[in-house]
Amino acid sequence: MSVGIERYIEKARTGGLTKPNRCAICARAGSLSWHGTYQRSLIALTRKWTIPIKRLYCRLCDHTFALLPPFVVKFHRYAKEVIRTALRWLKSRTREAVAEMIANSFPKPRKPEIATLTLYLWRRKFA
């Protein structure tokens, strides 16, 4: 996964990302232009990243939206792989045990604290 994230960062930095065909707001095609970049943090399984997110502007509906890479879940700080792994572990383990396992996947001493409530909410939303 970290290879995928690194490749994405490199592409975003060098203008190598592919512009989507259709607007995410109005769904019409052919009128998008790049509209700046912002940085966001992302917690993956083995480390925390700061990744660039490109924005697009649609001339037809006059809106902008973010082009999220496939490993990011909208409105979530954790990468898709963390959520997916946690949901798998939660099938046979307690939330406390899974929170500990996720923290342990990070190199010491940079352990992120994941709340058991977060795990509860992920299971309600994604499982």
Of 16, 20, 22, 26, the one binding Zn ion by CB under 5 A? 26
Say whether residue 25 binds Zn ion (CB under 5 A): yes
Nearest to 17 by CA among 41, 34, 42, 39: 34
Instruction: Give min distance, CB of 24 to Zn ion, in A.
Output: 8
Q: Which residues have C-beta within 8 Å of that of residue 115, sequence separation ≥ 6?
A: 99
End-to-end CA separation in angstroms for the chain: 21
Of 42, 56, 58, 114, the one binding Zn ion by CB under 5 A? 58
Instruction: Give min distance, CB of 56 to Zn ion, in A.
Output: 9
Tell me the one-letter amino acid at 107: P
By beta-carbon proximity to Zn ion, the closer residue of 43 and 61 is 61
Window contacting Zn ion (CB under 5 A); options: 16-24, 38-46, 97-105, 119-127? 16-24
Q: Where are the alpha helices (DSSP H) in the chain?
A: 2-13, 80-90, 95-104, 116-126
β-strand partners of 66: 55
Integer Cα distance of 88 and 104 in angstroms: 16
Instruction: Give min distance, CB of 59 to Zn ion, in A.
Output: 8
Of 12, 53, 61, 103, the one binding Zn ion by CB under 5 A? 61
Say whether residue 87 binds Zn ion (CB under 5 A): no
Residues that bind Zn ion (CB under 5 A): 23, 25-26, 58, 60-61
